[in-house]
Chain A
Amino acid sequence: MIDWMGSLQILAVPLLLTVSMLVLVFADLLLPAAAQPKGNQGPLSFRDLRKAQAEPVPGVQRADILGWIALVQLALCLAASFVAPQGVLPGGSYVHDAMAVLMERVLLVAGILAILGAFGHVRQSFARRQGEFYALLQCSLVGMTLLAGTRDLLLLVVAFELMGIPLYVLATFAKTDKNAAGDATPGRKSAEAGMKFYLVGALSSAITLYGVSLLYGLSGSTHIADLARIPSSPLLQVASALVVAGFGFKLGLAPFQFWIPDTYEGAPTPVVSFFSVAPKIAGLLALTQILLGGLLGHLQLWLPGLVGMSVVTMTAGNLLALPQLHLKRLLANSGVAQMGTMLIGVFAAATLGAKGHGLSALLFYFIAYLAANTGLFLVIETLAHDGSEPSERDLIASLSGLNRRSPGLALAALVCLLSLAGIPFAVGFWAKLYVFLAAWEAGYAWLVLVAVGVSVIGLFYYLRVARSMYLGEPRVTTPVRSPLTLSVAVTACALATAGLGLYPSVIVEATRTAAAAWLH
């Protein structure tokens, strides 16, 4: 007899997210369409629609209503993660343990920050499509929260696609650009960004799926834990290489990271603030589930390749970020480097298991990365909102003299930059320190030295941005205007980065418990 109520309670957060997504879609249908262009009652041609989407209709407050609904829903899901019981789903495909709970909360917070940051952008750029925007974001979150607790290859694959497909759509959401004259033109960059993102994503899914199908064939079961009983064979080597390569594409690990800067540059900034962090966290968790949960006995098959990938990723990310003048491209490459550093946590966990602190260091790194990276992308969004020159949009030059215009915003950006650079005592410092200590403990001393070495390269470009903010000449001296919600999100990120930097112990305990729960 299956305990249906118990199962539903265990799955509470993903289920609630699904329901809230549907509610949002229906609310979008039922709410009066205030954004209809006047004087055109007949069927609209595509050209009319495009014009209507491009022109913000005055007095449209509907965008905000749907945004607030989505925000309240995510807050409810966050609350639900505190009451949902821990347990195992019948059949064992999904386990709601301390790690799943912690990661659910981290991902939901990422979603909340993205929605807070998106309010103004949505109202300006796609007021008529806001319902879809928020619903797609929540749809992606359903997949991510499922990934946090999956123990089954089938659920993993489905959740992974559920996370990825809405993101392709979100990346192309800016269907129109504004040219210098303020007229709407088809969004060339957004289409290009979406196309690159999609092709890489679909290719990586196919490669991963092929690897997973081989794993299923070798073990005869889709349970990840059953992978441990596969005897070592060349086919297993091929399968694990395909899985790692597929995930490498998706997570942007070198040499598969070439698409990341283009996608980040072209996609709408609030979307980038979301998909530069949350899918990376969920994806790396899924890879950890397969490698540590299933293939730990065949360490020699995948560890050397992954170590090589990590070194190349850290080096390539930092070197490619050095010459960038475009802020989003710079952060994209810095994010690639951060992913390489996170991988070190996986090796440490793989080598020492429950004895070491690799996994807990990795979870800590996720939280630090979420706060600092989201904060910086939202600062870029704030400046774009201020109506910076289109020629200067998103460039480091647009930050020039920010300290004299808005000292608060400059300070928030500085805190996040220092955290990404790993300077004491921002939270990023502790994140790097914990990961390096765990790796040192596991016997990867040389890897730690390489990682510290390439982090020093990182200092150059992070501090170049900081120098522009504090020593550069501002083009205008008026304070930066930004929507209140965006300021709240930026402030929250900066406060979390600084606060957790001063008191890291607040989350260290939570990450240790979560890692211990998963490792047993």
Chain B
Amino acid sequence: MPTQAYLLLSAALFCLGIYGVLTRRNAIGVLVAIELMANAVNINLVAFSRVWGSLTGQAFTLFSLALTVSEVVVGLAIVILLYRAHQSVLTDSASEMKG
């Protein structure tokens, strides 16, 4: 398969992720959308790794995976905290501070 196919797939995933972040009201939904964007990054890195014939991109992917996982762990903990404080995981419910 040509490399463009992979890049198009990753671009589509990334845009889907951004769309999800902008439209989802559920905090967990937003987290999933951000995951999609992170996966787009990983596909990109592996595809480019093949193009350049080096393993740097694949090594980068491993780091990227680890980073995403640790970020999501913190994110889910914050969602639990949000639920305890607001009895809801909808992002609209957490809008006391304005101005």
Contacts and interface: CB of A to CB of B under 8 A. Distances in A.
A154 interface: yes
Given A202-B75, A206-B37, A266-B97, A154 B60 contact: yes
Q: Which of B14, B30, B81 gathers the greatest number of chain A CB atoms within 10 Å?
A: B81
B85 A205 contact: no
Contacts of B95: 192
B56 A216 contact: yes
Given A199-B30, A206-B38, A193 B74 contact: no
Contacts of A188: 85-86, 94, 96
A440 to B, nearest CB: 36
Interface in B65-91: 67, 70-71, 74-75, 77-79, 81-82, 84-86, 91
Given A165-B70, A194-B78, A199-B30, A209 B64 contact: yes
A214 interface: yes
Interface string A181-225: 000001111111111101100110111011001101100111000
Interface string A296-330: 00000000000000000000000000011010010
Contacts, number: 125
Given A187-B85, A188-B85, A206-B34, A213 B67 contact: no
B19 interface: no
A255 to B, nearest CB: 14
A401 B79 CA distance: 41
Interface in B35-73: 37-38, 40-41, 44-45, 47-48, 51-52, 54, 56-57, 59-60, 63-64, 67, 70-71
A154 B62 CA distance: 11
A169 B86 CA distance: 18
A67 to B, nearest CB: 23
Contacts of A216: 45, 48, 56-57, 60
A265 interface: yes
Interface of A is mostly: helix
A55 interface: no
Q: Which of A168, A191, A196, A265 gathers the greatest number of chain B CB atoms within 10 Å?
A: A191
A222 B63 CA distance: 13
B2 interface: no
Contacts of A193: 97
Contact of A209 (B38, B79, B85): B38
B94 A222 contact: no
Nearest to A160: B67
B63 A213 contact: no
Given A191-B84, A195-B82, A217-B47, A203 B34 contact: yes
Sorted nearest first, the 4 A-B pairs with minimum C-beta distance are: A217-B48, A206-B37, A191-B85, A213-B44
Given A191-B78, A213-B44, A217-B44, 6 more contacts: A154-B59, A158-B67, A165-B71, A187-B85, A192-B82, A199-B30
